[in-house]
Amino acid sequence: MGANNLLFNTTTGYIGLNGNTTGVYRVELSNANSGNGANTRLGLNNDAGNAFLFLNSSTRTADGGANGLTLRNNVGDLNLQSKGALGLNIAATTGVVTASSLAGTGSRAVMADASGVLSTVAQTAANTPNLYTADGSLTGSRTVTLGTNVLTFSSMTGYTNFSGNSNTAQGINLTNASNATAAHARLALLNDVGYAFLYLNSSGRSADGGVNTLTLRNDVGDLHLQSRGGAGLAVAATTGYVGIGTTTPAYPLDVTTIGGSLAGSYAYYALGNNATNTGAANTTGSVSIRASGRIAAAEFNAFSDARLKSITGFSDGKSDLGLLKQIEITDYQMKDKAQYGDRAFKKVIAQQVEKVYPLAVNKGTGFVPSIYSTSTVEPAVAGQSVVTLVAPHHLQVGDKVKLMGEKNGTVETTVLAVSSPRSFAVALPQAETKLFVFGPEVKDLRTVDYEALA
Protein backbone atom coordinates (compact mmCIF):
# COMPACT_ATOMS: atom_id res chain seq x y z
CA MET A 1 0.00 0.00 0.00
CA GLY A 2 2.17 2.86 -1.32
CA ALA A 3 5.39 2.70 0.73
CA ASN A 4 3.74 0.36 3.25
CA ASN A 5 3.62 -3.45 3.21
CA LEU A 6 1.53 -6.13 4.93
CA LEU A 7 3.52 -9.40 4.90
CA PHE A 8 2.33 -12.94 5.73
CA ASN A 9 5.28 -15.36 6.03
CA THR A 10 3.96 -18.93 6.00
CA THR A 11 7.45 -20.35 6.65
CA THR A 12 8.23 -18.45 9.86
CA GLY A 13 4.65 -17.72 10.94
CA TYR A 14 5.29 -13.98 11.02
CA ILE A 15 2.87 -11.24 9.94
CA GLY A 16 4.77 -8.04 9.16
CA LEU A 17 3.52 -4.46 8.81
CA ASN A 18 6.28 -2.42 7.18
CA GLY A 19 6.28 1.26 6.29
CA ASN A 20 8.48 4.27 5.64
CA THR A 21 6.76 7.56 6.39
CA THR A 22 7.48 10.85 8.16
CA GLY A 23 3.99 10.82 9.66
CA VAL A 24 2.24 8.49 12.08
CA TYR A 25 2.35 4.80 11.12
CA ARG A 26 -0.14 2.74 13.08
CA VAL A 27 -2.55 -0.17 13.38
CA GLU A 28 -5.82 0.72 15.10
CA LEU A 29 -8.28 -1.56 16.93
CA SER A 30 -11.49 0.31 17.78
CA ASN A 31 -14.59 -0.38 19.87
CA ALA A 32 -16.82 2.70 20.18
CA ASN A 33 -19.29 0.99 22.52
CA SER A 34 -19.55 2.59 25.98
CA GLY A 35 -21.15 -0.41 27.71
CA ASN A 36 -19.88 -1.64 31.10
CA GLY A 37 -18.43 -4.74 29.46
CA ALA A 38 -16.89 -3.03 26.42
CA ASN A 39 -13.14 -3.01 25.79
CA THR A 40 -10.74 -2.98 22.82
CA ARG A 41 -8.42 -5.97 22.94
CA LEU A 42 -5.34 -7.41 21.23
CA GLY A 43 -4.77 -11.08 22.05
CA LEU A 44 -1.74 -13.38 21.81
CA ASN A 45 -2.12 -17.18 22.16
CA ASN A 46 0.36 -20.01 22.68
CA ASP A 47 -0.09 -23.73 23.43
CA ALA A 48 -0.84 -22.99 27.12
CA GLY A 49 -3.23 -20.03 26.95
CA ASN A 50 -3.41 -16.34 26.17
CA ALA A 51 -2.21 -12.83 26.91
CA PHE A 52 -3.98 -9.51 26.33
CA LEU A 53 -3.42 -5.79 25.78
CA PHE A 54 -6.79 -4.13 26.31
CA LEU A 55 -8.30 -0.66 26.78
CA ASN A 56 -11.47 -0.41 28.86
CA SER A 57 -14.48 1.70 27.88
CA SER A 58 -15.40 4.76 29.94
CA THR A 59 -17.87 2.72 32.02
CA ARG A 60 -16.09 -0.64 32.46
CA THR A 61 -14.82 -0.92 36.03
CA ALA A 62 -13.37 -4.45 35.86
CA ASP A 63 -9.73 -5.24 35.01
CA GLY A 64 -8.14 -1.85 35.59
CA GLY A 65 -11.13 0.46 35.78
CA ALA A 66 -12.79 2.90 33.41
CA ASN A 67 -10.53 3.91 30.49
CA GLY A 68 -7.76 1.74 31.91
CA LEU A 69 -5.07 0.30 29.61
CA THR A 70 -3.86 -3.13 30.74
CA LEU A 71 -1.20 -5.59 29.52
CA ARG A 72 -1.85 -9.02 31.06
CA ASN A 73 -0.36 -12.51 30.68
CA ASN A 74 -2.73 -15.30 31.73
CA VAL A 75 -0.21 -18.13 31.36
CA GLY A 76 3.02 -16.89 32.95
CA ASP A 77 5.22 -13.97 34.00
CA LEU A 78 4.95 -10.53 32.45
CA ASN A 79 8.20 -8.84 31.41
CA LEU A 80 8.71 -5.19 30.40
CA GLN A 81 12.15 -4.97 28.86
CA SER A 82 14.33 -2.47 27.04
CA LYS A 83 17.29 -3.23 24.77
CA GLY A 84 19.49 -5.85 26.37
CA ALA A 85 16.50 -7.66 27.89
CA LEU A 86 16.64 -5.48 31.04
CA GLY A 87 13.54 -4.20 32.78
CA LEU A 88 10.64 -5.25 34.98
CA ASN A 89 9.25 -8.70 35.76
CA ILE A 90 5.81 -9.40 37.27
CA ALA A 91 5.64 -12.91 38.72
CA ALA A 92 2.76 -15.07 37.50
CA THR A 93 1.60 -16.59 40.79
CA THR A 94 2.44 -13.81 43.26
CA GLY A 95 2.24 -10.58 41.26
CA VAL A 96 5.65 -9.59 42.65
CA VAL A 97 7.28 -6.83 40.62
CA THR A 98 11.06 -7.00 40.30
CA ALA A 99 13.53 -4.86 38.39
CA SER A 100 16.70 -6.28 36.90
CA SER A 101 18.50 -3.00 37.54
CA LEU A 102 17.74 -3.40 41.25
CA ALA A 103 18.75 -7.03 41.51
CA GLY A 104 20.82 -8.03 44.46
CA THR A 105 21.20 -10.79 46.96
CA GLY A 106 18.00 -12.78 47.29
CA SER A 107 14.65 -12.12 45.78
CA ARG A 108 13.34 -8.58 46.31
CA ALA A 109 10.23 -6.64 45.36
CA VAL A 110 10.27 -3.15 43.88
CA MET A 111 8.57 -0.37 45.83
CA ALA A 112 8.31 3.37 45.25
CA ASP A 113 8.26 6.23 47.74
CA ALA A 114 6.06 9.32 47.54
CA SER A 115 8.44 10.91 45.03
CA GLY A 116 8.41 7.85 42.76
CA VAL A 117 11.91 6.72 43.66
CA LEU A 118 12.29 2.93 43.38
CA SER A 119 13.79 0.80 46.09
CA THR A 120 13.95 -2.88 46.99
CA VAL A 121 12.37 -4.51 50.01
CA ALA A 122 12.02 -8.02 51.28
CA GLN A 123 8.93 -9.81 50.08
CA THR A 124 6.05 -10.08 52.52
CA ALA A 125 2.39 -10.88 52.21
CA ALA A 126 1.66 -7.16 52.62
CA ASN A 127 3.85 -5.88 49.81
CA THR A 128 3.52 -8.67 47.22
CA PRO A 129 -0.23 -8.98 46.41
CA ASN A 130 -1.59 -10.42 43.18
CA LEU A 131 -2.33 -7.62 40.72
CA TYR A 132 -4.99 -9.58 38.73
CA THR A 133 -6.81 -12.86 38.80
CA ALA A 134 -7.71 -14.78 35.62
CA ASP A 135 -11.23 -13.83 34.52
CA GLY A 136 -11.82 -14.98 30.97
CA SER A 137 -10.51 -16.90 28.01
CA LEU A 138 -10.36 -16.69 24.22
CA THR A 139 -12.10 -19.18 21.94
CA GLY A 140 -10.77 -20.89 18.84
CA SER A 141 -7.19 -21.56 17.87
CA ARG A 142 -6.19 -17.86 17.67
CA THR A 143 -9.06 -15.45 18.33
CA VAL A 144 -9.35 -11.78 19.29
CA THR A 145 -12.86 -10.59 20.20
CA LEU A 146 -13.78 -6.91 20.05
CA GLY A 147 -17.42 -6.43 21.00
CA THR A 148 -19.47 -8.42 18.48
CA ASN A 149 -16.56 -8.60 16.00
CA VAL A 150 -14.01 -11.39 15.80
CA LEU A 151 -10.51 -11.73 14.32
CA THR A 152 -9.53 -15.39 13.97
CA PHE A 153 -6.22 -16.92 12.85
CA SER A 154 -6.67 -20.62 12.12
CA SER A 155 -3.46 -22.65 12.31
CA MET A 156 -5.26 -25.69 10.85
CA THR A 157 -6.73 -24.18 7.66
CA GLY A 158 -4.41 -21.24 7.07
CA TYR A 159 -7.35 -18.81 7.01
CA THR A 160 -7.53 -15.40 8.69
CA ASN A 161 -11.17 -14.45 9.24
CA PHE A 162 -12.62 -11.03 10.06
CA SER A 163 -16.25 -11.48 11.12
CA GLY A 164 -18.88 -9.34 12.79
CA ASN A 165 -22.60 -8.89 13.33
CA SER A 166 -23.67 -5.28 12.89
CA ASN A 167 -26.22 -3.29 10.92
CA THR A 168 -23.36 -1.26 9.40
CA ALA A 169 -20.51 -1.93 6.98
CA GLN A 170 -18.08 -4.61 8.20
CA GLY A 171 -14.73 -5.34 6.57
CA ILE A 172 -11.15 -4.24 5.99
CA ASN A 173 -10.20 -0.77 4.77
CA LEU A 174 -6.93 -0.22 2.90
CA THR A 175 -6.27 3.52 2.70
CA ASN A 176 -3.68 5.64 0.91
CA ALA A 177 -4.59 9.33 1.17
CA SER A 178 -1.78 10.51 -1.09
CA ASN A 179 -2.62 11.96 -4.54
CA ALA A 180 0.92 11.51 -5.87
CA THR A 181 1.50 10.19 -9.39
CA ALA A 182 2.44 6.71 -8.13
CA ALA A 183 0.00 6.50 -5.20
CA HIS A 184 -2.60 3.74 -5.06
CA ALA A 185 -4.27 1.49 -2.47
CA ARG A 186 -3.54 -2.17 -3.22
CA LEU A 187 -4.53 -5.65 -2.05
CA ALA A 188 -2.09 -8.32 -3.24
CA LEU A 189 -2.43 -12.11 -3.50
CA LEU A 190 0.77 -14.15 -3.91
CA ASN A 191 1.17 -17.78 -4.97
CA ASP A 192 4.27 -19.83 -5.79
CA VAL A 193 4.67 -18.04 -9.17
CA GLY A 194 3.87 -14.38 -8.56
CA TYR A 195 1.24 -11.76 -7.75
CA ALA A 196 -2.34 -10.75 -8.47
CA PHE A 197 -3.63 -7.32 -7.44
CA LEU A 198 -6.79 -5.36 -6.74
CA TYR A 199 -5.87 -1.71 -6.66
CA LEU A 200 -7.49 1.73 -6.70
CA ASN A 201 -5.47 4.52 -8.30
CA SER A 202 -5.17 7.95 -6.72
CA SER A 203 -6.44 11.05 -8.50
CA GLY A 204 -2.87 11.70 -9.60
CA ARG A 205 -1.88 8.25 -10.95
CA SER A 206 -2.41 7.77 -14.70
CA ALA A 207 -0.65 4.38 -15.06
CA ASP A 208 -2.45 1.02 -15.03
CA GLY A 209 -5.93 2.16 -15.98
CA GLY A 210 -5.86 5.90 -15.29
CA VAL A 211 -6.77 8.23 -12.44
CA ASN A 212 -9.28 6.97 -9.83
CA THR A 213 -9.70 3.62 -11.64
CA LEU A 214 -10.25 0.29 -9.86
CA THR A 215 -8.31 -2.57 -11.47
CA LEU A 216 -8.26 -6.33 -10.83
CA ARG A 217 -5.16 -7.80 -12.46
CA ASN A 218 -3.51 -11.23 -12.48
CA ASP A 219 0.21 -11.05 -13.31
CA VAL A 220 0.68 -14.83 -13.43
CA GLY A 221 -2.25 -16.22 -15.43
CA ASP A 222 -5.81 -15.86 -16.74
CA LEU A 223 -8.42 -13.67 -15.04
CA HIS A 224 -11.91 -15.07 -14.39
CA LEU A 225 -14.99 -13.18 -13.18
CA GLN A 226 -17.56 -15.72 -12.10
CA SER A 227 -20.97 -15.79 -10.47
CA ARG A 228 -22.49 -18.68 -8.55
CA GLY A 229 -22.11 -21.92 -10.47
CA GLY A 230 -18.84 -20.86 -12.09
CA ALA A 231 -20.40 -19.03 -15.06
CA GLY A 232 -18.88 -15.75 -16.14
CA LEU A 233 -16.15 -14.04 -18.10
CA ALA A 234 -12.52 -14.99 -18.79
CA VAL A 235 -9.61 -12.81 -19.90
CA ALA A 236 -6.75 -14.77 -21.47
CA ALA A 237 -3.31 -14.13 -19.98
CA THR A 238 -1.20 -13.90 -23.13
CA THR A 239 -3.63 -12.30 -25.60
CA GLY A 240 -6.07 -10.31 -23.47
CA TYR A 241 -8.91 -11.97 -25.41
CA VAL A 242 -12.26 -11.94 -23.57
CA GLY A 243 -14.38 -15.07 -23.41
CA ILE A 244 -18.02 -15.40 -22.31
CA GLY A 245 -19.03 -19.00 -21.85
CA THR A 246 -15.49 -20.18 -22.63
CA THR A 247 -12.23 -20.06 -20.66
CA THR A 248 -10.12 -20.34 -23.83
CA PRO A 249 -11.23 -17.43 -26.07
CA ALA A 250 -9.87 -17.68 -29.61
CA TYR A 251 -10.96 -14.16 -30.67
CA PRO A 252 -10.79 -10.70 -29.08
CA LEU A 253 -14.42 -11.28 -28.00
CA ASP A 254 -15.48 -14.92 -28.06
CA VAL A 255 -19.08 -15.64 -26.99
CA THR A 256 -20.09 -19.29 -26.88
CA THR A 257 -23.10 -18.95 -24.57
CA ILE A 258 -26.61 -18.60 -25.98
CA GLY A 259 -29.74 -17.66 -24.12
CA GLY A 260 -32.86 -15.57 -24.17
CA SER A 261 -34.85 -15.44 -27.37
CA LEU A 262 -35.55 -13.25 -30.39
CA ALA A 263 -39.33 -13.25 -30.61
CA GLY A 264 -41.58 -11.68 -33.23
CA SER A 265 -41.00 -10.89 -36.88
CA TYR A 266 -37.49 -9.99 -37.94
CA ALA A 267 -35.41 -9.74 -41.09
CA TYR A 268 -32.01 -11.30 -41.59
CA TYR A 269 -28.98 -10.86 -43.81
CA ALA A 270 -26.31 -13.47 -44.53
CA LEU A 271 -23.57 -14.01 -47.05
CA GLY A 272 -22.35 -17.39 -48.23
CA ASN A 273 -21.58 -19.41 -51.36
CA ASN A 274 -20.81 -16.12 -53.20
CA ALA A 275 -24.42 -15.00 -52.80
CA THR A 276 -26.29 -12.54 -50.65
CA ASN A 277 -29.15 -14.09 -48.69
CA THR A 278 -31.90 -12.01 -47.14
CA GLY A 279 -35.26 -12.93 -45.79
CA ALA A 280 -37.60 -12.80 -42.89
CA ALA A 281 -38.78 -15.08 -40.12
CA ASN A 282 -41.00 -15.02 -37.07
CA THR A 283 -39.68 -18.01 -35.15
CA THR A 284 -38.12 -17.79 -31.72
CA GLY A 285 -34.33 -17.97 -31.82
CA SER A 286 -31.56 -18.02 -29.23
CA VAL A 287 -29.34 -14.96 -28.87
CA SER A 288 -25.68 -14.60 -27.85
CA ILE A 289 -25.33 -10.78 -28.05
CA ARG A 290 -28.03 -8.12 -27.84
CA ALA A 291 -27.31 -4.39 -28.22
CA SER A 292 -29.60 -1.47 -27.43
CA GLY A 293 -27.60 0.83 -29.71
CA ARG A 294 -25.67 0.59 -32.95
CA ILE A 295 -23.00 -1.95 -33.75
CA ALA A 296 -20.17 -0.57 -35.90
CA ALA A 297 -17.59 -2.71 -37.68
CA ALA A 298 -15.41 -2.70 -40.78
CA GLU A 299 -16.97 -5.97 -41.89
CA PHE A 300 -19.71 -8.39 -40.83
CA ASN A 301 -19.38 -12.08 -41.59
CA ALA A 302 -22.39 -14.37 -41.24
CA PHE A 303 -22.45 -18.15 -41.48
CA SER A 304 -24.50 -18.89 -44.59
CA ASP A 305 -23.36 -22.27 -45.82
CA ALA A 306 -25.96 -24.07 -47.97
CA ARG A 307 -25.48 -27.15 -45.80
CA LEU A 308 -27.05 -25.22 -42.91
CA LYS A 309 -30.29 -24.47 -44.78
CA SER A 310 -33.38 -26.00 -46.31
CA ILE A 311 -33.92 -23.84 -49.41
CA THR A 312 -37.63 -23.47 -50.26
CA GLY A 313 -37.41 -21.22 -53.33
CA PHE A 314 -35.92 -18.16 -54.99
CA SER A 315 -37.09 -14.58 -54.87
CA ASP A 316 -38.59 -12.82 -57.90
CA GLY A 317 -36.19 -9.94 -58.62
CA LYS A 318 -38.71 -7.98 -60.72
CA SER A 319 -41.32 -8.15 -57.95
CA ASP A 320 -38.75 -7.20 -55.31
CA LEU A 321 -37.71 -4.14 -57.33
CA GLY A 322 -41.34 -3.08 -57.53
CA LEU A 323 -41.60 -3.16 -53.72
CA LEU A 324 -38.41 -1.17 -53.29
CA LYS A 325 -39.75 1.59 -55.56
CA GLN A 326 -42.68 2.08 -53.16
CA ILE A 327 -40.39 2.84 -50.21
CA GLU A 328 -40.02 6.59 -49.58
CA ILE A 329 -36.68 8.19 -48.71
CA THR A 330 -37.24 10.91 -46.09
CA ASP A 331 -35.21 13.89 -44.83
CA TYR A 332 -35.39 14.26 -41.03
CA GLN A 333 -33.61 15.13 -37.76
CA MET A 334 -33.77 13.18 -34.48
CA LYS A 335 -35.81 14.56 -31.55
CA ASP A 336 -33.10 13.51 -29.08
CA LYS A 337 -30.82 16.53 -29.54
CA ALA A 338 -28.59 15.53 -26.63
CA GLN A 339 -27.44 12.42 -28.52
CA TYR A 340 -27.76 13.46 -32.18
CA GLY A 341 -27.62 17.26 -32.14
CA ASP A 342 -28.83 18.87 -35.40
CA ARG A 343 -27.46 16.13 -37.63
CA ALA A 344 -29.45 15.66 -40.85
CA PHE A 345 -30.56 12.18 -41.98
CA LYS A 346 -31.79 10.89 -45.34
CA LYS A 347 -33.23 7.44 -44.69
CA VAL A 348 -36.49 5.55 -44.48
CA ILE A 349 -39.26 5.72 -41.85
CA ALA A 350 -40.15 2.39 -40.23
CA GLN A 351 -43.93 2.93 -40.30
CA GLN A 352 -43.86 3.67 -44.05
CA VAL A 353 -41.62 0.67 -44.79
CA GLU A 354 -43.94 -1.50 -42.72
CA LYS A 355 -46.84 -0.73 -45.06
CA VAL A 356 -44.81 -1.82 -48.11
CA TYR A 357 -42.50 -4.56 -46.80
CA PRO A 358 -43.42 -5.52 -43.18
CA LEU A 359 -40.81 -8.30 -43.03
CA ALA A 360 -38.08 -5.61 -42.95
CA VAL A 361 -39.48 -3.99 -39.80
CA ASN A 362 -39.03 -5.30 -36.25
CA LYS A 363 -40.89 -4.26 -33.10
CA GLY A 364 -39.38 -4.14 -29.64
CA THR A 365 -39.41 -2.31 -26.31
CA GLY A 366 -37.73 1.07 -25.80
CA PHE A 367 -38.15 4.68 -24.71
CA VAL A 368 -39.31 7.48 -27.04
CA PRO A 369 -38.58 11.21 -26.48
CA SER A 370 -42.23 12.23 -26.65
CA ILE A 371 -41.95 14.50 -23.58
CA TYR A 372 -38.28 15.61 -23.72
CA SER A 373 -38.60 18.51 -21.27
CA THR A 374 -37.28 19.82 -17.97
CA SER A 375 -39.45 19.64 -14.87
CA THR A 376 -39.65 20.67 -11.23
CA VAL A 377 -39.79 18.08 -8.43
CA GLU A 378 -41.39 18.28 -4.99
CA PRO A 379 -41.44 15.61 -2.23
CA ALA A 380 -44.76 13.88 -1.51
CA VAL A 381 -46.07 11.25 0.88
CA ALA A 382 -44.60 7.75 1.31
CA GLY A 383 -41.26 8.66 -0.27
CA GLN A 384 -42.79 9.68 -3.60
CA SER A 385 -41.72 12.69 -5.67
CA VAL A 386 -44.16 14.78 -7.73
CA VAL A 387 -42.80 15.75 -11.17
CA THR A 388 -44.43 18.81 -12.78
CA LEU A 389 -44.04 19.78 -16.45
CA VAL A 390 -45.03 22.84 -18.47
CA ALA A 391 -46.90 20.81 -21.11
CA PRO A 392 -49.17 17.75 -20.74
CA HIS A 393 -47.30 14.45 -20.34
CA HIS A 394 -50.02 11.94 -21.48
CA LEU A 395 -48.75 9.36 -18.96
CA GLN A 396 -50.87 6.84 -17.05
CA VAL A 397 -50.37 4.99 -13.78
CA GLY A 398 -48.15 1.96 -14.42
CA ASP A 399 -46.31 3.51 -17.37
CA LYS A 400 -42.52 3.29 -17.28
CA VAL A 401 -40.71 6.59 -17.86
CA LYS A 402 -37.06 7.57 -18.33
CA LEU A 403 -35.83 10.43 -16.09
CA MET A 404 -32.44 12.15 -15.76
CA GLY A 405 -31.23 13.99 -12.64
CA GLU A 406 -28.09 15.38 -11.04
CA LYS A 407 -28.06 12.94 -8.10
CA ASN A 408 -29.56 9.77 -9.61
CA GLY A 409 -28.30 9.98 -13.18
CA THR A 410 -30.57 8.14 -15.61
CA VAL A 411 -33.51 6.40 -13.92
CA GLU A 412 -36.14 4.16 -15.51
CA THR A 413 -39.06 4.10 -13.09
CA THR A 414 -42.80 3.50 -12.89
CA VAL A 415 -45.49 6.18 -12.69
CA LEU A 416 -47.20 5.69 -9.31
CA ALA A 417 -49.87 8.40 -9.55
CA VAL A 418 -51.13 11.06 -11.97
CA SER A 419 -52.38 14.16 -10.17
CA SER A 420 -52.96 16.35 -13.25
CA PRO A 421 -52.25 16.40 -17.01
CA ARG A 422 -48.93 18.10 -16.17
CA SER A 423 -47.92 16.26 -12.96
CA PHE A 424 -47.17 12.66 -12.00
CA ALA A 425 -45.57 10.87 -9.02
CA VAL A 426 -42.60 8.47 -8.96
CA ALA A 427 -40.23 6.97 -6.37
CA LEU A 428 -36.60 8.13 -6.66
CA PRO A 429 -33.49 6.61 -4.99
CA GLN A 430 -32.37 10.13 -3.95
CA ALA A 431 -34.36 13.35 -3.72
CA GLU A 432 -34.11 15.76 -6.68
CA THR A 433 -35.29 19.36 -7.14
CA LYS A 434 -35.46 19.13 -10.94
CA LEU A 435 -35.45 16.42 -13.57
CA PHE A 436 -35.24 16.05 -17.33
CA VAL A 437 -38.11 13.86 -18.53
CA PHE A 438 -37.12 11.91 -21.65
CA GLY A 439 -40.33 10.01 -22.30
CA PRO A 440 -42.29 6.79 -21.77
CA GLU A 441 -41.45 3.20 -22.63
CA VAL A 442 -43.38 1.72 -25.58
CA LYS A 443 -43.80 -1.92 -26.57
CA ASP A 444 -43.87 -1.32 -30.34
CA LEU A 445 -40.68 0.64 -30.98
CA ARG A 446 -39.89 -0.07 -34.63
CA THR A 447 -36.49 -0.71 -36.21
CA VAL A 448 -35.64 -1.28 -39.88
CA ASP A 449 -33.41 -4.09 -41.12
CA TYR A 450 -31.53 -2.22 -43.83
CA GLU A 451 -29.84 -5.42 -45.03
CA ALA A 452 -33.29 -6.79 -45.84
CA LEU A 453 -33.75 -3.82 -48.18
CA ALA A 454 -30.33 -4.17 -49.82
Q: Which residue, among 74, 105, 109, has the nearest Cα to 89 in the 3D structure?
A: 109
| Residue-level pLDDT at 288 | 78
pLDDT of 127-185, one tens digit each? 444 322 333 344 445 566 666 766 665 655 556 666 667 777 677 778 888 999 999 98
| Residue-level pLDDT at 329 | 92
Q: Please give the residue that has the higher pLDDT: either 417 or 315.
A: 417
Contact 259, 236 (CB under 8 A): no
Q: Please give the residue that has the higher pLDDT: either 228 or 107.
A: 228
pLDDT of 293-349, one tens digit each? 777 777 776 666 777 778 787 778 788 888 889 999 999 999 988 888 888 989 999
CA distance 396 to 42: 61
Annotate 1-57 with three-state secondary structure.
Answer: CCCCEEEECCCCCCEEEECCCCCCCCCCCCCCCCCCCCEEEEEEECCCCEEEEEEEC
pLDDT of 177-226, one tens digit each? 899 999 998 888 888 898 888 889 999 998 888 899 988 989 999 988 88
Q: What is the DSSP letter of 397?
A: T
| Residue-level pLDDT at 160 | 63
Average of per-residue pLDDT values in the chain: 79
